[in-house]
């Protein structure tokens, strides 16, 4: 029997697999998709995430991949703009998420993990109150995959988590995302650059330049019953850019290079996981759109915590493992979760953005600390 079965080969699954395989565990990773695969994302990796990967010896070439990101630019209505740079010369990177995920999965395979694509997981297998694997299927087969430990890292719509009734969409916020790569002569590909978040009434637009002369554009806004605009995501995205006073000239004549991708509702609450045999990592453990660009940090550091918990369960049994992982996640991410909620609340009010801009001009050190915290620059 496998020691660990990991459902999902994104960053959380790949990092957990690499850590576990290096520790000598027999690990198998399965995913519905065939890799490399496209993924809706902001396509930026912040300095703290890069530091974590370097400490783990993963994605070794990331420090020179893609484009450098020196900090963040936040704009609001009426031309309000706030810029801040990461401290001590730290930089993030902007690169296509498909390539980043593939780098991490290659690390997991090099460490000795097995990987099988095209495997659709249906549900968790539960026997005598313990998860013992999953029911899954692929081209021409259907069956059970068993392991001593199962790690659900299959994203915010996790089949494993959903089958156990642990996930729900909260009533608020109910935001959806539309993202695409845009080709336009107006968007500079100079490096280094700033990540961008353009906050407007009831919505925001993330912009990141990526290699190959492309710009990642992601619109996040609420969806309401009867809103037909989401049925035409290309028109909705390009229309938002064309109407925006700051972005319309830059993206005049923009053409989508594939896509767009639509995702939502974004927020997913996941209840406490107290079922022996199962650990959660990445967005499968819960998701709220992280405006500060640290979603990958949550995924990768969370995967490291889940891997350590899996090793503890394999060696000593499950007593205290779930509670220990929950405590570690709160201690590691609690303050950052609160920070993200505060930022989302702030930017939902245009006057608050203007006030923040005024405050940044008077006391720029406060902005610099906020940018450093958002970029996980203390890791």
pLDDT in tens, 294-351: 788 889 999 999 999 999 999 999 999 999 999 999 999 888 878 777 776 666 666 6
**Residue 290 binned pLDDT confidence (cut-offs 50, 70, 90):** low
Shared-domain flag, residues 249 and 280? no
Q: Is residue 71 domain-resident?
A: no
Omega cis (within 30) before 221: no
CATH number at residue 125: 3.50.50.60
103, 243: one domain: no
Does residue 215 carry a pLDDT above 80? yes
Both tokens of 328, joined, read: 């570690």
Angle between helices 321-347 and 350-362 (to 10 degrees): 90
Residues 145 and 225 in one domain: no
pLDDT(354) > 70? no
* Span of 25-39, 86-100, 333-347 with lowest mean pLDDT: 333-347
Residues 189 and 219 in one domain: yes
Over residues 83-106, the mean pLDDT reads 91
Sequence-separated (6 or more) residues with CB below 8 Å from residue 327: none
- Give the model confidence (pLDDT) of 52-61 as tens digits: 999 999 999 8
244 shares a domain with 190 = yes
For residue 371, pLDDT over 60 is answered with yes
Q: Which of 12-26, 91-105, 169-183, 301-315 has the lowest mean pLDDT?
A: 169-183
**Residues 28, 144 share a domain:** yes
Structure-token pair, residue 364: 């720029």
Does position 188 have pLDDT exceeding 60, yes or no?
no
**Confidence band of 292 (pLDDT split at 50, 70, 90):** low
Of the residues 220, 243, 263, the one at which a domain ends:
263
Residue 80 lies in a domain: no
209 and 125 share one domain? no
| Residue at 30 is within a domain | yes
Please, which pLDDT band fits residue 239 given cuts at 50, 70 and 90? very high
User: Minimal CA–CA distance to 16: which of 132, 105, 135, 120?
Assistant: 105
* Domain membership flag for residue 216: yes
| Confidence band of 91 (pLDDT split at 50, 70, 90) | very high
Lowest-confidence pick of 25-29, 148-152, 281-285, 287-291:
287-291
Give the end of a domain, one of 209, 231, 263. Answer: 263
Q: What is the per-residue pLDDT for 379?
A: 65
pLDDT of residue 185 exceeding 90: no
Same domain, 137 and 224: no
Position 45 in a domain: no
pLDDT tier at 191 (50, 70, 90 boundaries)?
very low
Confirm whether 227 is domain-assigned: yes
Tell me: do 143 and 290 sit in the same domain: yes
Please report whether residue 79 resides in a domain: no
Q: Give residue 161's pLDDT band: very low, low, confident or very high (50, 70, 90).
A: very high
Q: pLDDT for 1-10, tens place per residue?
A: 899 999 999 9
Residue 293 sits in the same domain as residue 338: yes
Mean pLDDT of 358-371: 66
| CATH number of residue 248's parent domain | 3.30.9.30
- More confidently predicted of 44 and 17: 17
For 251, the domain range is 175-263
Check pLDDT > 50 for residue 167: yes
In the predicted model, what is the mean pLDDT of the chain?
87
**pLDDT greater than 70 at residue 283:** yes
> Which of 240, 263, 286 is the last residue in one of the domains?
263
The pLDDT, as a whole number, for residue 362 is 60
Please indicate, yes or no, whether residues 214 and 127 belong to a single structural domain of this protein.
no
Bridge partners, residue 94, by sequence:
44, 67
In the chain, how many domains are there? 2
| 182 and 306 together in one domain | no
Is 47 part of any domain?
no
For 42-51, 212-221, 267-276, 343-352, which range has the lowest pLDDT when averaged over its residues? Answer: 343-352
């Amino acid at each position: 029997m496998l020691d660990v079965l990991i459902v999902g080969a994104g960053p959380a699954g790949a990092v957990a697999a690499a850590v576990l395989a290096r520790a000598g565990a027999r690990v198998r990773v399965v995913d519905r998709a065939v890799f490399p695969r496209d993924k809706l994302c902001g396509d930026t990796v912040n300095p703290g995430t890069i530091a974590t990967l370097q400490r783990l010896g993963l994605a070794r070439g990331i420090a020179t991949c893609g484009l450098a990101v020196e900090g963040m630019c936040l704009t609001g209505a009426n031309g309000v703009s706030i810029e801040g740079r990461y401290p001590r010369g730290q930089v993030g990177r902007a690169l296509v998420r498909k390539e980043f995920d593939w780098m991490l999965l290659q690390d997991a395979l090099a460490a000795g993990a097995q990987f099988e694509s095209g495997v659709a997981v249906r549900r968790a297998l539960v026997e005598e109150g313990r998860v013992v694997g999953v029911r899954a299927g692929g081209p021409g087969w259907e069956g059970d995959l068993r392991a001593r430990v199962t790690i659900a890292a299959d994203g915010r719509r996790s089949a494993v988590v959903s089958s156990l009734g642990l996930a729900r969409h909260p009533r608020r916020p109910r935001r959806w995302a539309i993202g695409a790569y845009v080709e336009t002569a107006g968007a500079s590909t100079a490096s280094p650059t700033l990540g961008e978040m353009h906050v407007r009434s009831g919505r925001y637009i993330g912009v990141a330049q990526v290699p190959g002369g492309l710009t990642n554009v992601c619109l996040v806004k609420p969806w309401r019953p009867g809103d037909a605009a989401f049925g035409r995501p290309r028109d909705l995205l390009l229309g938002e850019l064309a109407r925006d006073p700051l972005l319309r000239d830059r993206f005049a004549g923009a053409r989508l290079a594939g896509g767009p991708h639509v995702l939502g509702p974004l927020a997913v609450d996941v209840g406490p996981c107290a079922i022996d045999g199962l650990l959660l990592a990445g967005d499968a453990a819960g998701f709220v759109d992280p405006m500060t660009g640290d979603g990958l940090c949550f995924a990768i550091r969370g995967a490291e915590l889940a891997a350590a918990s899996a090793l503890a369960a394999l060696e000593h049994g499950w007593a205290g493992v779930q509670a220990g992982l929950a405590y570690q996640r709160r201690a590691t991410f609690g303050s950052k979760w609160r920070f993200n909620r505060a930022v989302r609340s702030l930017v939902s009010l245009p006057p608050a953005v203007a006030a923040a801009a005024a405050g940044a001009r008077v006391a720029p050190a406060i902005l610099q600390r906020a940018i450093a915290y958002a970029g996980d620059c203390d890791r």
